[in-house]
Amino acid sequence: MSTDSLAPTAAPVGDSLGRDAWRRLSQNRAAMASLWLLGLMTLACFIGPWLTPWGLADVDWNAFDVGPTLEGGHWLGTDANGRDLLTRTLYGGQVSLSVALVATFVSLIIGVLYGAVSGYIGGRVDNLMMRFVDIMYSLPFMFLVILLMVVFGRNIFLIYAAIGAVEWLDMARIVRGQTLALKQREFVEAAHALGVKDGKIVTRHLIPNAIGPVIVYVTLTVPKVILLESFLSFLGLGVQEPLTSWGVLISEGADMMQTSPWMLLVPSVFLALTLFCLNFLGDGLRDALDPKTR
Amino acid sequence: MLSYTLKRLAQAIPTMLIVITIAFFLMRIAPGGPFDGERALPPEIEANLMAAYHLDEPLWQQYFRYLGNLVQGDFGPSFKYKDFTVTELIMQGFPVSLQIGGLAILLALAIGLPLGIIAALKRNTAVDYTVMGTALAGIAVPNFVVAPVLALVFGVLLGWLPAGGWNDGALPNLILPVIALSIQQIAYIARMMRASMIEVMGSHYIRTARAKGLTEAEVVWRHALRPALLPVTSYLGPAIAGIITGSVVIEQIFGIPGIGRYFVQGALNRDYTLVMGTVVFYGALIVLMNLIVDLIYSALDPQIRYDD
């Protein structure tokens, strides 16, 4: 027996949850590629329109309904009104991505607070609050959202709010489940014993500890929201001219696909690529944050 | 089981009441009315029309009148399709929507379940990666993109199938809409089945079944399949709801005379009764489907008993 095996070794350095998750995520090539691509897509949508020679509603009188070409400056073609499709798709991306971020944020705030409060208070209040969520679940929400858009006109802020108000239910359930488990833990009891107020325990101790599943769920909500927005726009209930979004462009393209298929294909590819990346990233994050897969 | 079913049906009443109330008042605060046309109607005629449909009464009175009629199964007359009641329109459209939606669900299960099982059993092989990659693509491409592309390729370019139209539900007319409607659900079901199958195959009783010398096929069929189906079963409720909303778009793209298009057109035309009728009908359908799914779930899982 050698003596050095008995010598005290350096205490293992603990990794924080965040750093550990990041390490695991950066080893996932598909997820990292998606992350880069999404970053590029966002940059392109928000900076790109400044770089193209055409504006959102500029009409090129020499190029109506032209297919993708390198000559003449319309790389991805023009629509029937002579508007540059690349420029319009990038502007549409601004709308689709901003709807995705804002609506997801709205659903995040409502869902996390609702779930945390419900789980923390527990008992009869919890029962009542979750019963309400159950009822909301069984509503045919899509129809109510469509009615909302018809009633209040096609307003982008309404789209933010309406979609956010629909998507918070899952978030609330997840956070409640986490909170129920967390509030039994010693550190919450310790905080109680130290006299920390209930509201502070929820915001400082419960929500930060439930953040892992919430992050995963957010990345899965963003593509759902983008889909919902383009679904509404496709039905003609989304944003209004001269603004555009991917759903509007796809709907216009679908009408013209027999004569000008690029009008359908270009926005469809942008939309599908974004959704694809978001799903990959969500899967990667779930693997990275889920302790069971270790 | 019976008492559980009755209890759930009783719980559906407040849910439906909320749906009806929200939809009723949303529709009524919308600007415009059902009789706004290109030409303004003479005031006397409009007043007569309003009186005939009880639109001149106070709103709360109309609301309770509507509820009262609804309880008796009367959805009222349509404002735009003048010679039809809403019930007639829904009964005309529903068999069509049901045919497409039902076939889409069956197709989604028939393809999604085997794909998920195969991917799970061949985990981390080329088969698995191919299936899951395709499934991710299926989720990323929404049905309102798939539908026009399918119509373009198979209907216009290749000319194999009709690009639209209904033709009394002839098989060639059914194929493209059903595929477009089910692709996303196939993808979701395959992913879910794979995940739950992997979890079940790693559990202790599967190890026991293997240890007692069963062949792999017997282990999968007799022991793994049923518990692995449970999460997929509980997904069926949302899947059906997804197919119902999806059909709104698909019916519009392919020009199919189902209920979906009545809803959007009705809302845009302020055809109050028609919109209310479709919302109530779809709402009830979704609630009912969720109940059926829960009952199937309890039949599959012996640990769950709804006796209370």
**pLDDT of B117:** 92
Q: Cβ B286–A235 below 8 Å, yes or no?
A: no
Q: Cβ A139–B15 below 8 Å, yes or no?
A: yes
Q: Does A30 touch chain B (CB under 8 A)?
A: no
pLDDT top residue among A56 and B243? B243
User: A151-165 b/e with 16+ CB inside 10 Å = b?
Assistant: bbebebeebbbbbbb
From chain B, the residues in CB contact with A29 under 8 A are none
Do residues A94 and A249 touch, judged by C-beta distance below 8 A? no
Strand partners, B77: B85
Q: Cβ B152–A138 below 8 Å, yes or no?
A: no
pLDDT values of chain A reduced to their tens digit, one per residue, 294 residues: 444 555 555 555 555 666 777 888 888 788 888 889 989 988 888 887 777 777 766 776 666 666 666 666 666 777 767 677 788 888 888 888 888 888 888 888 899 889 888 888 888 888 888 878 877 776 667 777 777 777 776 677 777 777 887 788 888 888 888 888 888 888 888 888 898 888 888 877 777 777 777 887 888 788 888 888 888 888 777 777 778 888 888 888 887 777 777 888 888 888 888 888 888 888 788 777 765 554
Q: Does B20 touch chain A (CB under 8 A)?
A: no
Q: Cβ B14–A139 below 8 Å, yes or no?
A: no
From chain A, the residues in CB contact with B140 under 8 A are 223, 272-273, 275-276, 279
From chain A, the residues in CB contact with B19 under 8 A are 139-140, 144
Rounded Cα distance between B288 and A282, Å, is 32
B138: phi then psi, degrees, rounded to nearest 5: -60, -35
User: A23-33 b/e with 16+ CB inside 10 Å = b?
Assistant: ebbeebeebee
Nearest chain A alpha carbon to B272: A147
Tell me which residue of B222, B220, B283, B142 sits closest to A96, measured CA to CA.
Answer: B142
Q: Cβ A140–B253 below 8 Å, yes or no?
A: no
CA distance B152 to chain A (A): 7
A–B interface: beta-carbon pairs under 8 A: 107
Task: Please report where in the chains the tokens 């858009």 appear, as a residue.
Answer: A149
In Å, what is the CA distance from B30 to each residue of A162, A209, A254, B56, B127? 16, 44, 29, 16, 53
Overall pTM > 0.95: no
Tell me how many helices (H) and strands (E) chain B has: 12, 0
Q: Does A254 touch chain B (CB under 8 A)?
A: yes
Q: How far apart are the first and last CA of chain A?
A: 33
CA distance B287 to chain A (A): 6
Q: Does B94 touch chain A (CB under 8 A)?
A: no
Q: Does B136 touch chain A (CB under 8 A)?
A: yes
In Å, what is the CA distance from B273 to each residue of B77, B97, B251, B289? 7, 20, 21, 24
Tell me the pLDDT tens digit for each residue of B172-200.
888 999 999 999 899 989 988 998 888 88
- Angle ∠(A228,A234,A240) on CA atoms, nearest 5: 100
Q: Cβ A279–B140 below 8 Å, yes or no?
A: yes
Q: Cβ A261–B152 below 8 Å, yes or no?
A: yes
Q: Cβ B249–A251 below 8 Å, yes or no?
A: no
Say yes or no: ipTM exceeds 0.90. Answer: no
Q: Cβ B156–A148 below 8 Å, yes or no?
A: no
Q: Cβ B241–A140 below 8 Å, yes or no?
A: yes
Per-residue pLDDT, averaged over B273-294, amounts to 84
In Å, what is the CA distance from A180 to each residue of A121, A177, A184, A193, A206? 9, 5, 7, 19, 9
- Angle ∠(A114,A117,A123) on CA atoms, nearest 5: 115
Contacts of A34 (CB under 8 A, 6+ apart): A276, A277, A278, A280, A281, A284
Question: Which one-letter DSSP state was computed for residue B164?
Answer: S
From chain A, the residues in CB contact with B264 under 8 A are 146, 235
Contacts of A199 (CB under 8 A, 6+ apart): none
Which of the following CATH numbers is that of domain B1-308: 3.30.43.10, 2.160.10.10, 3.40.1500.10, 1.10.3720.10? 1.10.3720.10
Per-residue pLDDT, averaged over B138-147, amounts to 84
Q: Identify which of B19, B29, B140 has the shortest CB distance to residue A140.
A: B19
CA distance B154 to chain A (A): 12
Do residues B12 and B291 touch, judged by C-beta distance below 8 A? yes
From chain A, the residues in CB contact with B253 under 8 A are 254
Q: Cβ A151–B241 below 8 Å, yes or no?
A: no
Taking a contact as any Cβ pair under 8 Å apart, which residues of chain B between 37 and 76 contact chain A?
A: none
Q: Identify which of B30, B139, B267 has the shortest CB distance to residue A279.
A: B139
Q: Does A269 touch chain B (CB under 8 A)?
A: no
Q: Cβ B144–A230 below 8 Å, yes or no?
A: yes
Tell me the pLDDT tens digit for each residue of B194-227.
988 888 888 888 889 889 988 888 888 888 888 8
